[in-house]
Amino acid sequence: MPLLDKIERNRLPAHIAIIMDGNGRWAKKRGMERSEGHKEGVNAIKKVVEAALKASVQYLTLYAFSTENWGRPTEEVQQLMDLMIYAISRETPDLKKNGVKICCIGDMDRLPKYAATAMEECIQETAQGTGLTLVLALSYSSKWELVAAARKITADVVKGVLQEGDINEETFASYLTTCDIPDPDLLIRTGGEQRISNFLLWQLAYAEFYFTDTFWPDFGENDLYAAIIDYQGRERRYGKTSDQIERVQ
Ligand code: FPP
């Protein structure tokens, strides 16, 4: 039976977030430049987006460029920016046709003007998409996001728009860049490392984690399905006991 058919449709993770790691090592293993690994990484994104559509996943968040990635050699940063903008602009018509809506989370003010403008165009172009929402984390880090939220909350309290007593988990979440997006159910990290790397620290509070040694360029359709099937075998207790969970099912 194809792996896609083994997925239980009534227990899908609505939101999958992915830390796409291992492009550089994939290239090094083949005696290639790191940039070749990133190019192959784009092909993997295409396969995984198609697979997410087939599996009816509603939200897919990809950690494309972290705040810390700005510290990479200038040439690699430039190559990554160019590759991302080229790829996303090239794929936009197809994404639109397939009902994919693109959005971005991250400190877009740090992007070069041409990149921010191109990204904004893709967001506008796909805004009517009602199938998969593809969230690109660009110039993103969770600590940046949390500090930015704290600043916005403080400004609103000073202005009198928000009362200190009104700050709770729900209001706090509404100040995050992910305010319109449900928290991820499943986090996948490729490339063999088992860490969270400043990604969605708040939003991953109750996500299931799935780590694989596969380098991102080798990750494909069946790898996504395997992760979903693994997720469906987990019991999500949200701090409760197994008995309590069984009683409500
Ligand atoms: C991690 O591999 C990957 C990245 C830092 C960049 C990922 C970006 C892409 C695949 C392109 C994104 C394109 C679009 C359209 C969003 P690494 O370089 O850290 O690999 P390593 O750990 O093996 O060195």
Q: Is the CB of 87 under 6 A from ligand 1?
A: yes
Which pLDDT tens digit goes with each residue over 60-82? 999 999 999 999 999 999 999 99
Kindly give the residue spans of alpha helices, DSSP state H, lying in the chain.
23-29, 34-54, 74-97, 113-125, 142-159, 169-173, 221-232, 242-248
Whole-angstrom CA distances from 27 to 42, 130, 193 are 13, 36, 17
DSSP string, 101-140: EEEEES-GGGS-HHHHHHHHHHHHHTTT--S-EEEEEEEE
| The ligand 1 atom nearest the CA atom of 69 | 5
CA of 69 to the centre of ligand 1 (A): 9
Say whether pLDDT at 138 is over 70: yes
Give the count of alpha carbons within 13 A of 185, CB side only. Answer: 19
Q: How confident is the model at residue 239 (pLDDT cuts 50, 70, 90)?
A: confident
Angle at 169 between CA 238 and CA 147, to 5 degrees: 115
CA of 42 to the centre of ligand 1 (A): 9
The one catalytic residue in 10, 23, 43, 69 is 69
Which of 18, 19, 20, 23 best tests ligand 1's pocket when mutated (most atoms within 8 Å of CB)? 23
Q: Which amino acid is at 3?
A: L
Q: How confident is the model at residue 154 (pLDDT cuts 50, 70, 90)?
A: very high
Report the pLDDT averaged over residues 36-63: 98
Cβ–Cβ under 8 Å, residues 139 and 110: yes
Q: Is the CB of 104 under 6 A from ligand 1?
A: no
Percentage of the chain exceeding pLDDT 90: 94
Domains of the chain, first to last: 8-232 (3.40.1180.10)
Q: Is the CB of 191 under 6 A from ligand 1?
A: yes
The one catalytic residue in 5, 10, 21, 185 is 21
Q: Is the CB of 69 under 6 A from ligand 1?
A: yes
Give the count of alpha carbons within 13 A of 149, CB side only. Answer: 22
Q: Minimal CA–CA distance to 180: which of 67, 66, 15, 69?
A: 15
Report the pLDDT averaged over residues 166-191: 97
Measuring from atom 7 of ligand 1, which residue has the nearest CA? 64
Q: Minimal CA–CA distance to 152: which of 173, 182, 181, 180?
A: 173
21 among known catalytic residues: yes
Predicted pLDDT of residue 248: 66
CA of 64 to the centre of ligand 1 (A): 6
Mean pLDDT (the chain, rounded): 96
Cβ–Cβ under 8 Å, residues 199 and 23: no
Predicted pLDDT of residue 249: 61
The contacts found for 35-39 with CB under 8 angstroms, 24 or more apart, are 35/76, 35/79, 35/83, 37/215, 37/217, 38/79, 38/80, 38/83, 39/83
Report the pLDDT averaged over residues 72-94: 95
Exposed, middle or buried, 143 (CB in 10 Å: 0-12/13-18/19+)?
exposed
